[in-house]
């Protein structure tokens, strides 16, 4: 029997936190941080969700590709952001899409674009539905005749593998597990593993400039794209497949990060590599986060390029049952398809010990050391983490994250100021204290990517407003102190008001003009990425 995706949370129906993990999370939040929810905890039943009648219907020629079944409309109403979760449990589905379309090929995509353009309907591209910034949520304004969500899940094949050049041509709707399963017989891997890997797609990774789980070097999808094919309302655009080119601005870079506002990414050639044969992982404990950051900087600037080098502060460890709050944990991993990695780990360990780190477990004597101690507990917590929100939101507990990047010279003051601003914002919005934590998701020679999380108890009746007040304050703090408001999760709707503060004004006008040329009726994902600059404001 085929599993169905949840419409109220992460993954498939029947999957989620074990009762013991849920109880441990709630007990920790209550005992350590005084966060006690006051909501009902009830999951909205399908029959209890009000849906407006569809405002449009597909023509006979497209009807076999489309559905207006209530479960499908509800499933495609939201992504995985905190405000999405709040609205789901509030049964706020007034904006549900009218039609869900499942194209099988580029001709279907073009036909659906033509139909929605003729109808004056908005079209929302949908990969795996894992957006945490409102990128697939069909909130549209501007007098559209309706909303069509275009689900790419039937365009999910690996079409070609070039083992000589180490590249593969893959359709945009291929989810992480699907494309990796198809690449495995060829002895290669794309090696792009975002936390959303199971329920996100190649096209979504490209459209949102995804960053993978690996913390250094080839972790961003930007580095893995060889060419892109995108179908727009104005026609089909395909870049040349080359290892590199200096022929002016890159057409691929127009598609990468466009968030479905310029066209539908139907396929791409991507760079693959040999499958991993050698691995080593170790954990180190540090007295505090800033001291641990010194070890990360030393490793990042030593040219070692580990697969992962992540530090997690005491609050994050404690919330997730991986520590007692008294230390910061660094987890570092190396892997290779070609040669043993012990020599690299030796050098990284030296950097960690020089900065005052203490080994969490002996990686030399025990190849499974990373599965024990704090590192092992953190690994398990990281796997469970996407399920936390669906347990906390209905209880009235906000659990959200915001990611950033900053240069090393400004990191320490940035870290302290943003944490303080976050605590102040929680206190101002809710009248209560909250828990604010930080970890590094990625590390570069010139700076880290601090990834903040916050938990707080909210008033169930005004939970969305309180979340927005906190989000506004922390977003302002990140930019005011020199960072970027996003690092590897796109802009979407949640972050769009701050996007204008992060890009040169003239570049915004260039984007708006590109939107006007490729999508002259403005039907593609309105409200995302270029909304404030569309149509162009200059002549």
pLDDT for 263 beyond 70: yes
Mean pLDDT across 129-140:
93
Kindly report the backbone phi and psi dihedral angles of residue 147, in degrees, each rounded to the nearest multiple of 5, phi listed first: -130, 130
Q: How much is the pLDDT for 497?
A: 81
- Name the band, by pLDDT with cuts 50, 70 and 90, for residue 6: very high
CA distance to 150, 175, 400, 414, 478, per residue, from 471 (Å): 29, 30, 9, 17, 11
Same domain? 318 vs 378: yes
Q: How much is the pLDDT for 477?
A: 97
Q: How much is the pLDDT for 533?
A: 45
Question: Is residue 538 in some structural domain?
Answer: no
Same domain? 505 vs 369: no
Mean pLDDT across 527-535:
58
- Cβ–Cβ under 8 Å, residues 266 and 171: yes
Q: What CATH number corresponds to the domain at position 215?
A: 3.30.465.10
Q: What sign does the CA torsion over 337, 339, 345, 350 have?
A: negative
- Name the band, by pLDDT with cuts 50, 70 and 90, for residue 40: confident
Please report which residue ranges of 244-372 form alpha helices under DSSP H. Answer: 251-255, 289-300, 314-319, 342-354
Give the three-state DSSP class for 147.
strand
pLDDT for 185 beyond 70: yes
Same domain? 91 vs 128: yes
Mean pLDDT across 344-372:
87
Same domain? 526 vs 466: no
CA distance to 210, 235, 339, 369, per residue, from 366 (Å): 34, 57, 19, 5
Sheet with 435-444: list strands edge to edge.
358-359, 278-286, 328-336, 308-312, 435-444, 447-457, 397-403
Same domain? 360 vs 373: yes
Among residues 113, 133, 151, the one where a domain terminates is 151
The angle, 0 to 180 degrees and rounded to 10, between the axes of the packed helices 408-430 and 463-480 is: 160
- Cβ–Cβ under 8 Å, residues 82 and 388: no
- Name the band, by pLDDT with cuts 50, 70 and 90, for residue 1: low
Question: Is residue 2 in some structural domain?
Answer: no
Same domain? 336 vs 480: yes
Give the three-state DSSP class for 390.
helix
Q: Which of these ranges, 131-135, 152-156, 203-207, 467-471, has the smallest mean pLDDT?
A: 131-135
For 16-27, write each residue's pLDDT tens digit.
999 999 999 999
Same domain? 461 vs 517: no
Q: What sign does the CA torsion over 169, 172, 176, 181 have?
A: negative
Q: How much is the pLDDT for 534?
A: 45
Same domain? 341 vs 282: yes
- Cβ–Cβ under 8 Å, residues 5 and 13: yes
- Domain around 507: 498-533
Question: Is residue 13 in some structural domain?
Answer: no
Give the three-state DSSP class for 403.
strand
Question: Is residue 178 in some structural domain?
Answer: yes
- Cβ–Cβ under 8 Å, residues 130 and 517: no
Q: What CATH number corresponds to the domain at position 329?
A: 3.40.462.40
Same domain? 363 vs 445: yes
Same domain? 176 vs 256: yes
Total domains present in the chain: 4
pLDDT for 463 beyond 60: yes
Question: Is residue 215 in some structural domain?
Answer: yes
Same domain? 238 vs 287: no
pLDDT for 536 beyond 70: no
> Rounded CA gap, 479 and 35, in Å?
28
Question: Is residue 4 in some structural domain?
Answer: no
Q: Which residues contact 238 (CB under 8 A, 6 or more apart)?
A: 227, 228, 229, 230
Per-residue burial over 129-155, b if 16 or more Cβ lie within 10 Å, else e, is bbbbbbbbbbbbeeebebbbbbbbbeb
Q: For the chain, give the longest Cα–Cα distance.
A: 69
Question: Is residue 1 in some structural domain?
Answer: no
Question: Is residue 40 in some structural domain?
Answer: yes
- Name the band, by pLDDT with cuts 50, 70 and 90, for residue 530: low
> Rounded CA gap, 295 and 300, in Å?
9
Which residues lie across from 264 on neighbouring strands?
A: 231
Sheet with 167-171: list strands edge to edge.
158-162, 167-171, 264-271, 225-232, 235-238
> Rounded CA gap, 534 and 496, in Å?
13
Give the three-state DSSP class for 228.
strand
The angle, 0 to 180 degrees and rounded to 10, between the axes of the packed helices 82-89 and 463-480 is: 180
Q: What CATH number corresponds to the domain at position 121?
A: 3.30.43.10
Same domain? 412 vs 522: no
């Amino acid at each position: 029997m085929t599993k169905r995706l949840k419409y109220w949370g992460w993954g498939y129906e029947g999957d989620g936190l074990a009762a013991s993990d849920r109880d441990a999370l709630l007990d920790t939040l209550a005992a350590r941080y005084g966060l006690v929810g006051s909501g009902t905890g009830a999951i909205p039943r399908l029959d209890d969700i009000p849906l407006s009648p569809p405002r449009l219907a597909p023509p006979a020629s497209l009807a076999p590709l489309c559905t207006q079944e209530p479960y499908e409309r509800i499933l495609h109403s939201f992504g995985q952001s905190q405000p999405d979760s709040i609205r789901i449990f509030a049964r706020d589905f007034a904006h549900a899409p009218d039609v869900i379309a499942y194209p099988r090929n580029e001709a279907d995509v073009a036909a659906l674009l033509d139909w929605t353009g003729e109808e004056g309907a908005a079209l929302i591209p949908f990969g795996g539905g894992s957006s945490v910034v409102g990128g697939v949520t069909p909130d549209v304004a501007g007098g559209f005749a309706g909303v069509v969500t275009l689900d790419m899940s039937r365009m999910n094949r690996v079409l070609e593998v070039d083992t000589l050049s180490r590249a593969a041509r893959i359709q945009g709707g291929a989810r992480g597990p699907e494309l990796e399963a198809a690449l495995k017989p060829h002895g290669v891997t794309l090696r792009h593993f975002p936390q959303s890997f199971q329920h996100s797609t190649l096209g979504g990774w490209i459209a949102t400039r995804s960053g993978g789980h690996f913390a250094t070097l080839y972790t961003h999808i930007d580095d893995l794209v060889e060419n892109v094919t995108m179908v727009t309302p104005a026609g089909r655009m395909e870049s040349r497949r080359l290892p590199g080119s200096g022929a002016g601005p890159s057409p691929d870079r127009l598609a990468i990060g466009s968030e479905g506002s310029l066209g539908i990414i139907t396929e791409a050639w991507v760079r693959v590599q040999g499958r991993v044969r050698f691995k080593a992982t170790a954990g180190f404990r540090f007295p505090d986060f800033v001291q641990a950051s010194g070890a990360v900087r030393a490793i990042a600037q030593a040219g070692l390029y580990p697969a992962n080098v992540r530090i997690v502060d005491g609050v994050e460890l404690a919330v997730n049952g991986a520590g007692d709050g008294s230390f910061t944990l660094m987890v570092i991993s190396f892997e290779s398809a070609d040669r043993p990695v012990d020599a690299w780990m030796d050098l990284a360990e030296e950097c960690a010990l020089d900065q005052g780190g203490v080994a969490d477990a002996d990686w030399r004597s025990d190849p499974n050391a990373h599965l024990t101690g704090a590192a092992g507990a953190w690994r398990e917590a990281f796997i469970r983490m996407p399920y936390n929100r669906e347990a906390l939101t209905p209880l009235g507990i906000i659990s959200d994250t915001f990611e950033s990047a900053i240069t090393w010279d400004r990191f320490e003051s940035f870290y302290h100021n943003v944490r303080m601003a976050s605590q102040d914002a929680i206190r101002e919005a809710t009248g209560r204290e909250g828990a604010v934590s930080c970890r590094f998701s990625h590390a570069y020679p010139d700076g880290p990517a601090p990834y903040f999380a916050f938990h707080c108890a909210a008033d169930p009746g005004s939970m969305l407003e309180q979340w927005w007040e906190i989000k506004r304050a922390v977003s302002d703090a990140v930019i005011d102190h020199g960072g970027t408001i996003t690092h590897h999760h796109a802009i979407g709707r949640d972050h769009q008001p701050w996007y204008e503060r992060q890009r040169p004004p003239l570049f915004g006008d260039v984007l708006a003009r590109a939107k006007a040329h490729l999508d002259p009726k403005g039907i593609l994902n309105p409200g995302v990425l270029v909304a404030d600059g569309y149509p162009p404001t200059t002549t």
